[in-house]
Amino acid sequence: MNAYIFPGQGAQFTGMGLDLYKGSNEAKELFKKANDILGFSITDIMFEGSAEDLKQTKVTQPAVFLHSAILAKTIADSFKPDMVAGHSLGEFSALVANETLSFEDGLKLVFKRALAMQKACDMQQSTMAAVLGLEDHIVENICNNTEGVVVAANYNCPGQLVISGEINAVNLACERLKEAGARRALVLPVGGAFHSPLMEPAREELANAIENTKFNTPICPIYQNVSAQAVDQEDIIKANLIKQLTAPVKWTQSVQQMIADGAKNFTEVGPGKVLQGLVKKIDRSVATSSAIIP
């Protein structure tokens, strides 16, 4: 069975999408439509902007979404998913690819999400940290017993977990995680505590937009970050997507469940190869590849 996976924030690179734009009339039209919807020329930033330009949340999230969603449409003839999943932001690309969301609605929600998250980040200083070399339950236990807000946020693969929360709480947790034997506990250069309770203002803002967006019956199940289970009912997809901003990304669990349900080939659709690396660390026996521009 074929699983298609979609990367999240952090996969962006300068010049991203230019080959897509040049190689397909359909892609060109979709990029132009995106500029109109966003009200600024995101293509200029994607194709010609600096790494610094691309790092702005209001640019990064729609840019990664556009690269993935447009690539999925460009490879339409060979795009035959039995299941899809996306890492954090990538869940929106996956929902466009499996036709739960229209391209236009997906982009509008992603832009709304980016602005809402930026606003939440500006309200309170917060951060995230990557923890390597510890079992999940040890990381969870230390977070639960650290003063302040700090939670397990991204279950990326066995032995790699990202924590998220208030700056002091994350720093304190990092010290304790190193004492507990973590190979590394490294604060990340991010603008805020994604997938933590500190994103509640953004979740509320995005929830309203999601509630008012039309969701269609998908062509195949999506394994959502919140549940790590196959979902094909619009109302459940919607409810899970609303929870996503303040809940952890269960990527390890999602991939394990996809494999248990028969996934043999994982194709990453979008910039980079980060998810392929994570899939291989979760289970070396499955095949991974990148979606190729026709």
Residue numbers annotated as active site: 88, 195
Instruction: Return the residue matching tokens 């809940």.
Output: 247
End-to-end CA distance of the chain: 22
For 153-168, give one letter per residue: b (16+ CB within 10 A) or e.
bbbbbeebbbbbbbeb
Token pair in block for residue 124: 């309170």
| Contact between residue 152 and residue 177 where contact means Cβ atoms under 8 Å apart | no
23 and 75 Cβ atoms separated by less than 8 Å: no
Which pair of tokens denotes residue 81? 């998913």
CB distance 143 to 151 below 8 Å: yes
Report which of 232, 228, 127 is spatially closest to residue 185, judged by C-alpha positions: 127
Geometric angle at alpha carbon 166, from 162 and 168, rounded to 5°: 100
Lookup: tokens for 92: 């929106």
